[in-house]
Amino acid sequence: MTTTASPATVRADTTCLDGVDLAALAQRAGTPLHAYSASAIRQRIGALKNALRGLDALVCYAVKANGNLAVLQLMADAGLGADIVSAGELRRSLRAGIPAQRIVFSGVGKTAGEIAAALAAGIARFNVESEDELHLLQRLAAERDVIARAAVRINPGVDAHTHAKISTGNADNKFGVGIDEARRWFAGSATLSHVHLDGLHVHIGSQMLSLEPLRQALHRTADLWCELAAAGHAITSIDVGGGLGVCYRAGHDHPVAIEDYTDVIRHALAGFDGRILLEPGRWLVAEAGVLLTRVIRIKRGRQRRFVVVDASMTELVRPSLYDAWHDIVPVARESRPLQTCDVVGPVCETSDTFAVGRALPECEAGDLLLIRTTGAYGASMASTFNSRPLAAEVLLDRGRYAVVRRRQTFEEMIAGEQPAQNWETA
């Protein structure tokens, strides 16, 4: 597959995204509104596939980044698989048409019920994160008389140099097992009658803007693969995880070039003749998405000027959770003088803040703002805190848009709640 344009060409120019006029869109679909460019997502997929040419590689999109069915459908249409972390994500992926044979299951807390559902669906592989999980998988597979394919998620003990809350590969966090433990699993794997342990998996963190940690992690993984192979344990797949960073702050974040990323994989795994799995989430969808929000009012505090918008941490929690920066620009053609302000949401929580002391073009009530790079870990981390219904999501494609999640209604938001009346004893 070749790409005809660089991913940058579908970046919102502040008035338009993927050929759709954003002011008109906000008028039609309301705010706050998540909008995703299908063209931008396809370009990322194309660029990644192109960079992987010649390798036996399968890209398993990390569903947790953005699990909207229409987004998953774009992945399915492009032949991608899915990296799931729950039974819900399994069902979403299957519903969107991603075949079970292209689904891998990660996560430290897989329950018996979730493992059973994944076995019943016939997924490709379990990325196993603890000995207890390995034995549970063996028992559940034996009960069903199926063979589960499994990879050990190794924790290579490297620091991804990203935010502590999204770093997963250093020795003291909950993910994966140490290399010594992985060795022991393989040494004892002959006793596993219904688990075929023939893969290695590593995922060291998210939003990585440097390749050095990945290079280290993959070299450690490759050393283990060689050592295991020499000991007679055939390794048929190596999963390099996800974590590729994107640009949240123009001129400040410098994402690595995709070919440099795949070169690291090519070099570290040179000579490996099995299948290479990749689990990108953020990189495929983050920059394809924007969050449209309208200014409710300007509030002049004693020392600060607050731009109060109708989006909040319920649509985009990254700034509250990780102090994450997102570029914010007005959806406007004319230029205006800059003013320093805090951009805040309506939620009763001080951390409900999108930007502090940010120089923004002057704006007033009713203005439309664009919060950039919200295609990943935006809608997928949404909540209804403060009884705010979930925002709508639209997919844009070359001048057209489709609502791919309608705004939640009040009745939908409270569905399932009921007065305490049918009292029972447990």
Ligand X SMILES: *Cc1c(COP(=O)(O)O)cnc(C)c1O
Q: How far is the CB of 268 from ligand X (least distance, A)?
A: 17
Q: How far is the CB of 339 from ligand X (least distance, A)?
A: 34
Residue 62 touching ligand X (CB under 6 A): yes
Residue 206 touching ligand X (CB under 6 A): yes
Residues 77-106 that bind ligand X (CB under 6 A): 83, 106
The binder of ligand X chosen from 18, 133, 198, 279 (CB under 6 A): 279
**CA dist., res. 194 & res. 166, Å (int):** 33
Q: Where does 351-426 show beta strands of DSSP type E?
A: 353-361, 368-372, 392-397, 400-405
Residues 229-258 that bind ligand X (CB under 6 A): 241-244
Q: How far is the CB of 241 from ligand X (least distance, A)?
A: 5
User: Considering 60, 226, 341, 348, which one is annotated as catalytic?
Assistant: 348
Answer whether the bond into residue 361 is a cis peptide, omega within 30°.
no
Q: How many residues does the chain have?
A: 426
**CA dist., res. 323 & res. 8, Å (int):** 25
Q: How far is the CB of 64 from ligand X (least distance, A)?
A: 5
Q: How far is the CB of 418 from ligand X (least distance, A)?
A: 35
- For 336, other C-beta atoms within 10 Å of its C-beta total 13
Residue 281 touching ligand X (CB under 6 A): yes
Residues 105-124 that bind ligand X (CB under 6 A): 106
Beta-bridge mates of residue 125: 104
- In sign, the C-alpha dihedral spanning 406, 412, 416, 417 is positive
Q: Which residues contact 125 (CB under 8 A, 6 or more apart)?
A: 104, 105, 149, 150, 151, 199, 237, 239, 277
Q: How far is the CB of 337 from ligand X (least distance, A)?
A: 37
Q: Which residues contact 426 (CB under 8 A, 6 or more apart)?
A: none
The binder of ligand X chosen from 59, 65, 128, 140 (CB under 6 A): 65
Q: Which residues contact 64 (CB under 8 A, 6 or more apart)?
A: 85, 89, 281, 377, 380
Beta-bridge mates of residue 238: 200, 276
Closer to ligand X at the Cβ: 67 or 241? 241
Q: How far is the CB of 40 from ligand X (least distance, A)?
A: 16
Closer to ligand X at the Cβ: 48 or 148? 48
Q: What are phi and psi of 395, to 5 degrees?
A: -105, 130
Task: With CB under 6 A as the rule, give the number of residues binding ligand X.
Answer: 17
Task: Take residue 115 and report the two structure tokens written for it.
Answer: 């493992």
Quick check: is 348 catalytic?
A: yes
Closer to ligand X at the Cβ: 127 or 216? 127
Residue 155 touching ligand X (CB under 6 A): no
Residues 16-45 that bind ligand X (CB under 6 A): none
Q: Residue with structure tokens 């790079």?
A: 373
- Select the span of 15-23, 191-199, 280-288, 295-303 touching ligand X (CB under 6 A): 280-288
DSSP element (H, E) containing 14: none
- Select the span of 58-66, 74-82, 116-124, 381-389 touching ligand X (CB under 6 A): 58-66
Residue 220 touching ligand X (CB under 6 A): no
Residue 291 touching ligand X (CB under 6 A): no
The binder of ligand X chosen from 11, 42, 49, 64 (CB under 6 A): 64
DSSP element (H, E) containing 239: strand 237-239
- For 257, other C-beta atoms within 10 Å of its C-beta total 12
Residue 133 touching ligand X (CB under 6 A): no
Interface residues with ligand X (CB under 6 A) are: 62, 64-65, 83, 106, 203, 206, 241-244, 279-283, 376
Residues serving a catalytic function are 348
